[in-house]
Structure 1
C-alpha cells in the first residue's frame, strides 16, 4: 500500500486499502533448504578403545526401501546422512570381531544420533544383539529445534494446524490464541526469542513454498494434519542452509512402506462440549470478546503401502474439516453475534520409487480448498450476509524429490516444487452485476454487496540442490554440506467493483458516490537465489565445530502494465501504460554461521552449545508494492438522488459541479542505496539427559537487529515543524510538547529507506526446557521463558507488533517520536510457560494436557 494524495476521503481510501492488504496477507520469502532427514554418526573401536578402520557398517529400517552400507574411515568414524525419520538398526562387522547389531535407533528430522560401538573379539558369523540405548542428546548440531513426532501430533489436544502446533513450542508467542480449533481458519503471526514477527517459513519436505506477498512470511496452503510424519520447527542457531532466524516449520509428509497401513479418525465438538466464554469487563460492564465454536467436525482417512516391496510405495490421505463459529464482537442490528462458516478439504498423494540400491525418487501432490463463506469488511460494525465476501480458495503443491548415494560418503539431494493458489474475496452468489455497495457512515452499516471483488492468483517455483560429503581422519572428521537454491515468485492483485462505485449514505439519506478505476491488475515479482557451505568438524570425538557461510541474492520489480480495456469510467481514469520498473530492490548479502558443540562428560549424555549467526530479513513483494503505479484510485462526487429511489444514476452525480475529491497514485519511492535488514543472534545452551528419554536444558538468547526500514516524508522535514507546549503526557503525567507544521503541507514525497533510529534494539532471554520422548506410557514437552525486548519502536500507536515501519509512520514527524524510544517491542511477553504431556492409564485410557500461559504483550 502506498501513500495517497491528501484528500477529504484519504481516511476512506486508506481504510479500504488497509483492509484489502490485511485480508490478503492473513489468509494467505526467502529460499531455504533444511534437512527433512536425520543422521547416524559414530566411532567403531576395539576392546582397547583404538579405532577400527575399514569396518563394514550398514543401516536398515522400515523407512528405507534398501539398506545402506559404508566402511569406517581411518579414524574409525562413520556417518549415515539423509535418513528419513524412523527407527533403525545398525550392523557392524570387521575381521576378527563378532558382528554387532544395535537396534532401536530413533531418528527425527534434523537430529544426529551418536551411536558408537566397541567390538568384541570373535568370529564374524557370531552376532551380538544389543539395544542401542536412547540417544536423545544431539552432540553435533547447535540449532535450537523442536520436533513434533506422531505421538505429539496425534495425542496433544490442539487446533490440528501449524499455528496451534507451533504454539506448543517453548518460547514462541503468537498474535492469536487457539482454543480447540477456533482459530484454525485464520493465520497467526509468530515470534520466538526476539525474532521479527511474521518471519516464518512453511516448508514442505524441506522446500520453502510460502505465499510471496507481504514480507513473504505467510502460507497459501492449509495443511492436512494427519498427512504429516513429522513437524519440525527450527528456531535459533540455524545452519547456513536456512535463511531466517524466525520460525522455520519443516513439514515432512508421510510415505508408504513395505506393509499396508492406514488410519481413519474423526473429531467432533459443539457448543455443548465447551464452557461458556468468560467475558472481560470494562468499568464493570462485560465486553463482548471471543469466538466460541458451535460446530467443529474433522474427519480424515489415509492409506499407504507397497505396490512393489522395497521398490515402489504409495500413500494417500483425505481430510474434511468444518469449523463454525459465533463471533461475539460482531453483531447484527438485532444484537445477535454473526456466524462464521468455514470448511477445508485436503487431498494428499505421494509416490516413492527406489531406483537401484542408491537412488530414491519421490513425487508429491497436495491439494487444498479453503472455504470461508462470510468474511466481513471490518470497517463497518454491521455488515449483512450479502455484503460479505465469499472465499473459495483452491491451492495445490507439486514436488519432486531425488536423493542419490553417489559414493559411500557422498550423497546428493535435489528438490523442486511449485505452489499455486487463487485467494479470492468474491461477491456472494446471490449478488448480481447490478447490485452495488451501500455504506451508511452514520449507522456503520454495509449492505447490498461487498465493497469490491478481489483475487490473488499467486504462484511460487523453487529448485534446490544440496550435497553431503563425509571425510574422517582429516584433523578430525568432517561432514561438508553445500547447496544452491533459486526461486521465482509472482504476486498479482485483481480488483473489480460492480458498477465501479460505492454509494454512501447518512442515516439512510444518499450523500455521495465514490467512483473507482476498476477493473485493474497490479503485478509484482521477486527472484531469490542463494549458495551455502557448512562443515560439521568433529575434533577428538567430543568437540564439533559448525562452520557455515551463506550468500543470498534478492531482486524485486514490477513488469510493464496497462490499464484494463474494460474500465468502467475511462473518462474519469484515462487508460495508461506503465513501463517495466527494472530492479527496484537488489540485494547481495553474505552471512556467517558459527557454532560449537562440546560433549561435556564424554559419555554422550550432556552437551554445551554456543552459536552465533547473522540472518538477513526475509522479504516478499511488499516493498515494490509500495511504489507500484497500478492501484486504487478514485473520485468522490456529491449525489443528488433526484428520483428518490436510493440508487445512484450516473446523471445524478457524475458532473464537474458535484466533484468533491480525488485520491490515488503513489508518492513513495525506494532509496536505491537501501541496505537489507538483518539480525545478529547469539545463544548458549546446556543440555543434559537426566534419565532414559528425559532431557533438560537451560539457554540464554541475545539478538539485535540493524538496517531496519521505514518512511520519511521529504516534503515535510523535521525543520518544518514548530513546537507547541501546554500539553500533558497521558502515560507519564509529565509536560508534553507537540508540533505543528510551520507552513502549509505540500504534496507528500515519501522515501522508503533504512532508519538509523531503529538500530537501537536488543533482546535478552532465558529459557528452561524439559523434553521426554514417549516411553513407559508418558511423554513431555515443557518450557519456561523469561525475556525482554526493548528499543525504538516503529509506527507507535499504529502497529506495535512489527519491525517494518511501512505504514502510517514518518520519521521526519517529531510527533511520532513521543514514546517511541526505550519502548517494549513486538510480542514481548515477559513470562511464557507451556506444558504438553500425555499419560496412558491401564486399559489404554489416555489423558493429555496442553497448557499455555503468557503475560501480556506491549500496549
Structure 2
C-alpha cells in the first residue's frame, strides 16, 4: 500500500463506510463495526496474549442445553470451565478471577464471592465473543484470571428478524432414586429479534427479547410425613435488549445500547428440599439488572482513534423467605416486601426447622457509573508502534439490606427432635401457629442479630485505572507487546469504618498497584509464530469484605442468651421483655460479640503473575494448531481466619474458641476476618486445533493437561507443627488433570446442517472432612484426613 492513500471499508450489510489514510509505511488503522469481512490471516503474528474467538456461526448453531451462551467459553483454549451456571463465570468462583465486558462495558457484579449471580443477556443478542485466558493487554484489568469480551448484534440496511422456541420436558427422564418417581420438569424458551435501518447507511437499530420459564418441584423426604411437601413453582428469566448505531460521518459514529433482565426463582434449590430440613427452609430469589451504555468513536487524522465510553448498570440480589412471621419485632423497620416474611431457625442433631438462609430477607445491590477513554495512535520510531493509552473511573454504590440472623436461632446441640414434633408445628409455613415452649429444655442458647441501622448500609467505592500499551514491530519478524497498568480504589476494604479493637477507621489505601506486562511474538515464517511473555495482574475484590465491615462498623451485634430453665424459654427468650435495642444488647451480662468476614489492617488486593510460552502454526489456508505452556501464580489471596484465638505454646494447638479466658479479647467471641495470606499455582499445557469453514464444514478442538495447587500460611509460623496445622500446600478444589473439547459444524446440503459438541473432563477434587469429633481433619485414631482428597 502506498503512503497517503485513503482506504475505505464498507460494511455490506449496514452500508456504513469507514475511512483511514495510510502512513509513510503504507500502514492504516480503521475502527469498524462487527460484521462480515474477507480476511486471509489465520495465525496472529503480532500478539502474544492467549485468546480464542467464538464466532457468530458457533454462537448461533452449536447446540447448548439451556442456551446459556457463556457455556460456549468451554470451547476456548485455556478455559477451565466444565459448566457455567446462570450465576458465575469461573470454577472455584471468586470475584476477581474473571471479568465480563459487553461492547467494552464492564458489567461484572462484585456483590458476593459466589452464588449471587450476574446480569443476564439473551444468546440471540450476542454476535460473538472473545475468551482471553492469559496475559490480556494493559487496557483490561481487575482480573487475576481471564477476560470475556462480548460484542452485541447491530442492525443492517435490511429489515430482518427471527422467532424461535426451545422446549424440554421430563418425558425421557429417569426416576429420582430417592423418591422413586420421575420428578416433574419442563422448560420453555421463546426468543425474538428484529433489526433494520432507521436511515439507510446512517442509523440502524437492533432489538431482542427472550423469555424462559421452568416449572420445577423440590421435594422433602424427612422422617415426618406432614413436613414432606412438594414445593412447586416456576422460575422465569425474561431478558430484553436494544441497540442503535449512528454513523454521523466516516470518521464519527455513536453506539447506544441497553439491556434489562429479571431472573426470578420461587424456591432457591440451595435452601429447599432434602431429608434434614422442612419447607420453612425455603426462600425465593430475584436477580434484576439494568444497563445503559454509550460509546462515541472518532477517527483523528490518519493515525489516531479515540473512543469515549459512558455507562450505567445495576444488579441486585433479593432473597425473600417463604414462611410467614407476622409478629416479628423487626417488621416496623423492614422494607415493605420483607414485612412478615421469615422464620426462626432451630437446630437439632441431624435436623433443622426454620429458614436455612439466616441472612434473609435481604436485598443487596451494586449500582455503577463508569467513564472510560481509549486513545489509539501509531507512529514510526525504530520500527512501527501501535500505542494504546487511556483511563477509566467507576463510581460504585452498594445499597444493602441484609437481615443477619434477625429471625433468631435456637441451638439444640446434640439433642434429637422429640417424637411429637409434628404436633408442635401444625402449619410449618406460618410461625404464628408454632408451639415452641415444649422444646425449651432441648435448647442450649438463643441468639439473634440486632442492628442499630435497621440492617441497612451502603458500600461506596471509587475505582480508577490508567494504562499504556505499545505493540512495537521491531522488525518484520519480531513484535514486542509492552504495557503498564495502574489501578487504585477507595472503599474496597471499607477504610472509613472502625471495629475496635480490631480495626481502626481512616485506614490508608493501596497506592502501589502497578502491573507491568511484556510479551513477544516472533514470526519464523508467514505461517509460524512463537509467542510468550509475563505480567502482573491485580484482581477485583468482592463486596463481601466491605459490606460486612460496613455492617458491623455501623452497629450490629449477635446477642445470645442461655437457657434459663423457664418452661417458655423457646418462643419467649427475653422473658416478656421487648427484644433489646443495639445499645441494650451491648450491656447483656456475659455477652461475647462475634463478627465475620471483616477486613483487617494491612489487607491487600490479590494479584497474579501470568506467564506463557508457545507456538502457533498454520496448515494450508484453513487450519491452525497451537500449543502453549501457561503458568498463573496467584498471591495474597483472601481467606478467613478466627483472629481471636491463642494457642498452646507447647503443642501449637489452638485453644477452643468457647474458652473466653484463652481469647485475645475475652469479651469477644469468634472474630472471622479476611487476611491476605493465601496463594495458588496453576500450570498447564494448553493445545488447540482450528479448522475454518471450507468445503461445507468447520471444526475445532482443545486439550489441556494441568495441575492446580494452593495453600495458606501457618497460623503459628515459628513453631514446628503437625501437618494439618502448618502451612499446607497441595491440590486445590477444582484441580482437574485432563480436559478436552471438540465441536464441529457440517452443512450437509439441501438446507440441512449437522452440528455437535463433545466435552470430556477428568475428575475434579473436592474437600474432604471427617464427620465426627472436634477436628474435621483428624480421625478418632489421630490420623489426618488428606486435604482435598476426593476426586
Aligned to 2:381: 474
In structure 2, C-alpha distance between the alignment counterparts of 1:529 and 1:291, rounded to whole Å: 53
Match of 2:200 among 309, 332, 340: 309
Contact 1:835 1:850 in 2 (8 A): yes
Q: CA deviation at 1:816?
A: 7.7
Measured after TM superposition, the shift of residue 359 of structure 1 is: 1.1
2:459 to 511, 524, 530: 524
Structure 1 position 849 matched with structure 2 position 771: no
Match of 1:75 among 25, 49, 52: 25
Counting only pairs closer than 5 Å after superposition, residues 236-315 of structure 1 correspond to structure 2 as 236-243=134-141, 244-273=143-172, 275-276=173-174, 294-315=185-206
Question: CA 1:693 to 1:639, structure 2 compared with 1: closer, same or farther past 3 Å?
Answer: farther
Cα distance in 1 for partners of 2:691, 2:180 equals 37
> Does the 8 A contact of 1:198 with 1:217 survive in 2?
no
**CA apart distance, 1:466:** 0.5
In 2: Cα distance, 1:666 partner to 1:431 partner: 26
1:634 deviation in Å?
2.8
1:538 shift after superposition? 1.6
- Contact 2:345–2:407 (8 Å) recurs in 1: no
Measure the CA separation in 1 of the matches of 2:190 and 2:463. 38
Corresponding residue for residue 124 of structure 1: none
Query: Counterpart in 1 of 2:373?
Result: 465
Question: Cα distance 1:634–1:536, how it changes in 2: closer, same or farther (>3 A)?
Answer: same
1:664-679 equivalent positions in 2, closer than 5 A: 664-666=593-595, 670=599, 672-679=601-608
Counterpart selection for 2:612 from 675, 683, 686:
683
CA distance in 1, matches of 2:560, 2:759: 50
Aligned to 1:318: 209
For 1:337-416, list aligned pairs within 5 A: 341-375=234-268, 378=271, 381-385=275-279, 387-416=281-310
Post-superposition offset of 1:662:
4.8
How far is 1:224 from its partner? 1.0
Give the secondary-structure state (helix, strand or coil) at the position aligned to 2:171: helix
The farther-off stretch of 479-488 and 590-599 is 590-599
Residue of 635, 641, 647 corresponding to 2:560: 635
Query: 1: distance between equivalents of 2:243 and 2:327?
Result: 43
Please tell me whether the aligned partners of residues 220 and 229 of structure 2 are also in contact (alpha carbons under 8 angstroms): no
Aligned counterpart for 2:650 among listed residues 722, 742, 748 = 722
The match for 2:703 is 784
Query: What secondary structure is seen at the aligned counterpart in 1 of 2:545?
Result: helix
Q: Deviations over 1:400-440 (max 9, x none)?
A: 11111121211111111111223110134976456651544
Partners of 2:567 and 2:12 in 1: CA distance:
79
In structure 2, the CA distance between the partners of 1:368 and 1:810, relative to structure 1 (3 Å rule), is: farther
Distance 1:328 1:262 in 2: 41
Q: Is the 8 A contact 1:291 1:326 kept in 2?
A: no
* Distance in 2 between residues matched to 1:292 and 1:835, nearest whole Å: 32
Q: Does the C-alpha gap of structure 1 residues 300 and 683 become closer, same or farther in structure 2, counting only changes over 3 Å?
A: same
1:517-576, Cα deviation, whole Å (9 max, x unpaired): 1531132222211111111112333322111111111222549899xxxxxxxxxxxxx9
Alignment CA distance shift 1:499-1:753 (3 Å): closer
Aligned counterparts of 1:56 and 1:600: Cα–Cα separation in 2: 32
Quick check: 2:231–2:267 contact (8 Å CA) kept in 1? no
Match of 2:479 among 514, 523, 544: 544
Q: Using the alignment, how far apart are the partners of 2:181 and 2:128 within structure 1?
A: 31
User: Contact 1:515–1:636 at 8 Å: present in 2 too?
Assistant: no
- Residue 823 of structure 1 is matched in structure 2 by 730
Alpha-carbon distance between aligned partners in 2 of 1:332 and 1:810, rounded to the nearest angstrom: 45
What runs of 5+ residues in structure 2 fail to find an aligned partner? 329-339, 422-437, 766-787
Aligned counterpart for 1:187 among listed residues 88, 94, 107: 88
Instruction: Give, in whole Å, the separation in 1 of the partners of 2:267 and 2:104.
Output: 34
- The Cα offsets for residues 299-330 of structure 1, whole Å up to 9 and x where unpaired, read as 11010111101211111110101234556898
> Cα gap change, 1:84/1:639 in structure 2, threshold over 3 Å: closer, same or farther?
farther
Matched residue SS, 1:302? strand
Residue 99 of structure 2 corresponds to which residue in structure 1?
201
Output the CA distance in 1 between the equivalents of 2:60 and 2:221.
34
Which residue number in structure 2 is paired with residue 491 of structure 1?
398
Within 5 Å, which residues of 2 pair with 1:610-759?
610-625=532-547, 627-628=549-550, 629-630=553-554, 631=556, 633-636=558-561, 638=563, 648=572, 651=575, 662=591, 664-666=593-595, 670=599, 672-710=601-639, 716=645, 720-723=648-651, 744-747=662-665, 752-755=674-677, 758=678
2: CA distance, partners of 1:421 / 1:815: 45
Q: 2-side partners of 1:217 and 1:170: how far apart?
A: 26
CA offset at residue 661 of structure 1?
Answer: 7.4
CA distance, structure 2, for counterparts of residue 372 and residue 256 of structure 1: 33
Aligned to 1:773: 692
On the 8 A contact 2:117/2:287 being kept in 1, the answer is: no
C-alpha separation in 1, matches of 2:104 and 2:353: 44
Residue in structure 2 matched with residue 156 of structure 1 by the alignment: 62
Residue by residue over 1:713-738, the C-alpha shift from the partner in whole angstroms, topping out at 9 and shown as x without a partner, is 665456x34329xxxxxxxxxxxxx6
Which 10-residue stretch deviates more, 327-336 or 387-396? 327-336
Is the Cα–Cα contact under 8 Å of residues 713 and 726 in structure 2 kept in the other structure? no
Does the 8 Å CA contact 2:258/2:291 hold for their aligned counterparts? yes
Q: Given the alignment of the two structures, is residue 832 of structure 1 paired with residue 754 of structure 2, yes or no?
A: no
Q: Cα gap change, 1:86/1:266 in structure 2, threshold over 3 Å: closer, same or farther?
A: same
Matches within 5 A, 1:223-242: 223-242=121-140
2:111 is paired with a residue whose SS is coil
Tell me how many residue pairs correspond in the alignment: 700
Name the structure 2 match of 1:146. 52
In structure 2, how many angstroms separate the alpha carbons of the residues matched to 1:792 and 1:154?
41
Shift of 1:679: 1.5
CA 291–606 in structure 1, closer or farther in 2 if over 3 Å, else same: farther
Scaled by the length of structure 2, what TM-score is found?
Answer: 0.78
Give the superposition deviation at 1:516. Answer: 2.8
Paired position in structure 2 for 1:591: 515
**CA RMSD across the alignment:** 4.1
1:121-176 Cα shifts (integer Å, max 9, x gaps): xxxxxxxxxxxxx32222212221122122111222223225422233333234x7
How far apart, in 1, do the equivalents of 2:257 and 2:346 lie?
50
Q: Any unmatched runs of 5+ in structure 1? A: 1-43, 45-51, 89-103, 106-133, 280-285, 563-575, 725-737, 796-808
